[in-house]
Amino acid sequence: MRNKIIAGAVLVLSGFAVGRASEPAPSHVYELRMYSAAEGKLDALSARFRNDTDRIFKRHHMKAVGYWLPTEGERAGNTFIYILEHPSREEAKKNWAAFNADPEWQKVKAASEANGKLVLKVDSTFMAPTDYSPIK
């Protein structure tokens, strides 16, 4: 199932990059993140991203490629998926540290988890496009 999700994300990324073939290849890395939501908390998790997280990401130079909710299979109803674009692994590490230390993020996270944690498990995979990928 995870391979199908990754393959789908790669297809989305391929469509995202149409028309870039003549541009020089950036040295970006992509981070696929999958959150397993606590029972009944997927809507609250999605709302937190919609209302706050995405905006705070931008402040810390974390570019979201997209956000997804599986519509079928074992991950439907309990998984939140997104892909971030980072200039490099080093920048990703630095930006995640700044994001996690951000007082607004800490306040938003605490408020959203007043009735329990929203996320039970985080899977993170860093990816680099292949030399033949439309998104380089």
Query: Which phi and psi angles does 121 have, rounded to 5°?
Result: -150, 140
The residue ranking higher by pLDDT, 10 or 83, is: 83
What are the structural domains of the chain? 2-9+28-127 (3.30.70.100)
**136 pLDDT higher than 90:** no
CA nearest neighbour of 36 among 120, 102, 96, 93: 120
Do residues 134 and 20 make contact, with C-beta atoms less than 8 angstroms apart? yes
Do residues 32 and 10 make contact, with C-beta atoms less than 8 angstroms apart? no
Query: Which phi and psi angles does 110 have, rounded to 5°?
Result: -60, -45
Radius of gyration, alpha carbons of the chain: 16
pLDDT recorded at residue 26: 53
Copy the structure tokens of residue 128: 């680099």
The count of other CB atoms within 10 Å of the CB of residue 43 is 12
| Per-residue pLDDT tens digits for 26-53 | 578 999 999 999 999 999 999 999 999 9
Computed over every residue of the chain, the mean pLDDT equals: 86
Place 133 in a pLDDT band, splitting at 50, 70 and 90.
confident
pLDDT recorded at residue 15: 47
